[in-house]
Amino acid sequence: MLAFVARSMAKPSHLLKPLAPRKLPGRYLAHQEGLPTLPVPPLQQTMDRYLLALQPIVSEEELTHTRALVEDFRKPGGVGERLQKGLERRAKKRENWLSDWWLKTAYLEYRLPVVVHSSPGVVLPKQDFQDRQGQLRFAAKLIEGALDFKTMIDNETLPVEYLGGKPLCMNQYYQILSSCRIPGPKRDSVVNYATGKKPSTHITVVHNFQFFELDVYCSDGSPLTTDQIFIQLEKIWNTSLQTNKEPIGILTTNHRNSWAKAYNNLIKDKTNKESVRSIEKSIFTICLDAPIPRVSDDVYRSRVAAQMLHGGGSRWNSGNRWFDKTLQFIVAEDGSCGLVYEHAPSEGPPIVALLDHVIEYTKKPELVRSPMIPLPMPKKLRFNITPDIKNDIEKAKQNLNIMVQDLDIKVMVFHHFGKNFPKSEKVSPDAFIQVALQLAYFRMYGNACATYESASLRMFRLGRTDTIRSASVDSLKFVQAMDNPGQQEQEKVELLRRAAQAHRSYTDMAIKGNAIDRHLLGLKLQAIEDLVSIPELFMDTSYAVAMHFNLSTSQVAAKTDCVMCYGPAVPDGYGVCYNPMAEHINFAISAFNSCGDTNAAQMAHYLEKALLDMRLLLQSNPRSKL
Ligand code: COA
Ligand code: HC5
């Protein structure tokens, strides 16, 4: 097995010193160099598959129009071939022909606020502490656990992950700590302080909107113990009791262009600049939140999901964040916990792997009580608020509060079955869930919609994601048949199985680098780079429909029983993130209240019914034993 060091053979990671700077070439580099490069799919294949993907979501008339555009684009010696050659040349020159383009297009040049529109949240199971002592103790353990994970990253002792038997690119693990997004007038950037001459040794702690720099390593390079961190957190707590501070962090919730302007204004002041740099350089952030308003058990998880995504608004915890920070753990006094992360540097799975490790770590009994060496007071990060900055904060507050009001989010723990049921029926669990989503949507709206599911491209060096288009010819046939009384049950079963199989095949094609979405994006960006006019194919109604993802979905599997969430991709759509466990499935469904046609709770209800109806269908029609 190709692994840096198998977990069981590794020296306990807390005994290893953090490596600074990381010595390359090391095991990591050797592993990375062994990975294949992302292929450019054949042009003709993508064209065929594009037309197929349009079938369930556009009208016959639109499709006829698009067919003609596709024929023109793909013809020998045509624009398509020229752009394809450009892409192939690009692929020869780079480690990954897509990754820089993707980072810019999907994240750095995306101008909507990161809050709700880009940054995902994770809700952890409620912790059983009830007071500040418990909160700080848990936060201290969590910090120690995260530093333990960091040691594995620094020492390159993280086991390599596999998907479908193939080793995955581990680069994202090196981007999630000590990094931060920085707003820019047209394009943002990401800085990373994990390596270099002076790698970061502190974290940021936020309490009552006040930021602190907390050094988490001793002078000999060993991390502070839980007890030591706890004492430091108490000091921070006791010096930040005032609740009337300007919520400077709210600035990071704004539209990226407005925030970029405000940022330049903010850092004109030397003290402010130093404080901002300290946050940006820190390993991660810990947000010690005020309790969230009490709600019934029924809506508790949905409420916490909202807290993770946006902090509840300017009167609650939204000022207790720096949303540009890649990783922010949130620990509230009432036991609600989770995280929010800025998406540009990494996909969900590495974040969740870190979280799984941290949660296991917090469960360990504390054995050694370290002698208490007096530690310096953590540094308070000061901000001088000029009238201009105050004005920017007020504007950001207003926008944020509108976003908070607009987010409609519903967490559904589907407890009737988990991955085990579809497996027992020899159906891919992910495909089963995706087909159920198609059925739920069709029952609500009477048609299929462009549906996005994230597929990992990490089999390739520096791979990020491509799109699994879950609305297929086969899924549409099934959802149309399901409620048709004239249809035989046995036929419905056949159609369900075929739809799931089609989904699984699309998934295999996507993770092997042969899906269509990133290729189409590449062809379009190649046209822009070559300064040729944008081909009509990309100005077409069908293309707009295909890119308008009313369902934006993603599976993120975790060991911890947590719920992952994010906002919808379009104003009239749903975000659906799920964590399938063996015997239950955690879903978070989001929508916007400003859209009269969507409703997260209703979608959850239809999804639950679709999953149950599909189970019943399969169970009532057992497969023949042949
Ligand atoms: N019969 C029985 N079992 C089956 C089956 C079948 N027909 N098809 C699949 N299974 C099993 C699999 O072997 C697997 O077993 P395991 O639990 O022992 O590992 C399990 O069911 C799950 O497989 P499946 O549901 O098909 O999905 P997957 O785990 O392969 O995941 C994706 C599919 C698309 C989620 C995955 O390929 C991927 O890309 N993940 C990353 C997504 C991502 O990056 N998300 C975050 C974006 S920020
Ligand atoms: C902690 C779970 C984070 C999941 C985030 C996710 O799925 O992001 C997708 C990334 C991608 O490139 O597919 C984008 N999406 C939210 C729009 C599905």
- Residue listed under structure tokens 């998934």: 507
Beta bridge partners of 189: 182
The predicted pLDDT at position 196 comes to 81
Beta bridge partners of 325: 180
Flag whether pLDDT at 368 surpasses 70: no
The minimum-distance atom of ligand 1 relative to the CA of 455 is 39
Task: Quote the ligand 2 centre to 454 CA distance (angstroms).
Answer: 6
Is 202 an active-site residue? no
Q: Are residues 375 and 305 in the same domain?
A: yes
Strands 337-341, 121-123: pairing is antiparallel
The predicted pLDDT at position 365 comes to 81
C-beta of 552 in contact with ligand 2 (< 6 A): yes
Task: Quote the ligand 2 centre to 346 CA distance (angstroms).
Answer: 10
Confidence of residue 308 (pLDDT cuts 50, 70, 90): very high
The predicted pLDDT at position 296 comes to 83
In a domain, 578, yes or no: no
C-beta of 266 in contact with ligand 2 (< 6 A): no
In a domain, 588, yes or no: no
User: Of 385, 406, 427, which residue sits at a domain end?
Assistant: 406
Q: Are residues 90 and 122 in the same domain?
A: no
Task: Quote the ligand 2 centre to 116 CA distance (angstroms).
Answer: 12
The predicted pLDDT at position 293 comes to 79
Q: Are residues 145 and 166 in the same domain?
A: yes
Average pLDDT for residues 175-187, to the nearest whole number? 97
Other Cβ atoms closer than 10 A to 477: 18
Other Cβ atoms closer than 10 A to 293: 10
Rounded distance, CA 220 to CA 227, Å?
Answer: 18
Flag whether pLDDT at 130 surpasses 90: no
- Listing DSSP states for 67-83 in one string gives HHHHHHHHSTTSHHHHH
Strands 337-341, 327-332: pairing is antiparallel
CB distance 477 to 495 below 8 Å:
yes
- pLDDT tens digits along 319-328: 999 999 999 9
In a domain, 12, yes or no: no
User: Of 348, 374, 406, which residue sits at a domain end?
Assistant: 406
Q: Are residues 398 and 419 in the same domain?
A: no
Percentage with pLDDT > 90 across the chain: 86
In a domain, 185, yes or no: yes
The minimum-distance atom of ligand 2 relative to the CA of 102 is 12
- pLDDT tens digits along 311-367: 999 999 999 999 999 999 999 999 999 999 999 999 999 999 999 999 999 998 876
Confidence of residue 625 (pLDDT cuts 50, 70, 90): low
User: Of 389, 406, 423, which residue sits at a domain end?
Assistant: 406
C-beta of 430 in contact with ligand 1 (< 6 A): yes
Task: Quote the ligand 2 centre to 365 CA distance (angstroms).
Answer: 34
The predicted pLDDT at position 17 comes to 38
Question: Largest alpha-carbon pair distance within the chain?
Answer: 78
Q: Are residues 456 and 545 in the same domain?
A: yes
Average pLDDT for residues 258-262, to the nearest whole number? 98
Q: Are residues 479 and 509 in the same domain?
A: yes
Q: Are residues 493 and 374 in the same domain?
A: no
Helical (H) or strand (E) element with 32: helix 27-33
In a domain, 579, yes or no: no
In a domain, 562, yes or no: no
Confidence of residue 370 (pLDDT cuts 50, 70, 90): low
For the CA of 434, the nearest ligand: 1
Q: What is the domain-level CATH number for residue 517?
A: 3.30.559.10
Mutate to test the pocket of ligand 1, among 170, 342, 423 (most ligand atoms within 8 A of CB): 423
DSSP one-letter code for 9: G
Q: Are residues 77 and 164 in the same domain?
A: no
The predicted pLDDT at position 578 comes to 98
C-beta of 344 in contact with ligand 2 (< 6 A): no
- pLDDT tens digits along 208-223: 999 999 999 998 889 9
The minimum-distance atom of ligand 1 relative to the CA of 468 is 34
- The larger pLDDT score, comparing residue 114 to residue 157, is at 114
Range of the structural domain that residue 498 is part of: 39-95+415-555+596-620
Q: Does residue 208 come out as left (phi exceeding 0), alpha (psi in the -120 to 50 range) or beta?
A: left
Flag whether pLDDT at 14 surpasses 60: no
Q: Are residues 402 and 419 in the same domain?
A: no
Task: Quote the ligand 2 centre to 554 CA distance (angstroms).
Answer: 6
**Residue with CA at minimum distance from ligand 2 atom 17:** 552
Confidence of residue 294 (pLDDT cuts 50, 70, 90): confident
The predicted pLDDT at position 13 comes to 40
Please tell me the pTM assigned to this model. 0.94
In a domain, 513, yes or no: yes
For the CA of 118, the nearest ligand: 2
Mutate to test the pocket of ligand 2, among 343, 451, 467, 511 (most ligand atoms within 8 A of CB): 343
Q: Are residues 112 and 49 in the same domain?
A: no
- Please give the C-alpha separations between residue 495 and each of 130, 378, 476, 618, in angstroms, as whole numbers: 51, 62, 9, 11
- Per the structure, how many domains does the chain have? 2
The predicted pLDDT at position 131 comes to 86
Task: Quote the ligand 2 centre to 553 CA distance (angstroms).
Answer: 7
C-beta of 507 in contact with ligand 1 (< 6 A): yes
Confidence of residue 207 (pLDDT cuts 50, 70, 90): very high
In a domain, 33, yes or no: no
Q: Are residues 160 and 192 in the same domain?
A: yes
Nearest to 250 by CA among 399, 34, 40, 72: 399
Catalytic residue among 31, 202, 310, 343: 343
Strands 166-167, 162-163: pairing is antiparallel
- Listing DSSP states for 115-133 in one string gives TTTT--EEEPPPPS--SHH
The predicted pLDDT at position 455 comes to 98
Q: What is the domain-level CATH number for residue 237?
A: 3.30.559.70
Please tell me the least confidently modeled range out of 24-33, 84-93, 418-427, 552-561. Answer: 24-33
Please tell me the least confidently modeled range out of 109-123, 246-260, 293-307, 474-488. Answer: 293-307
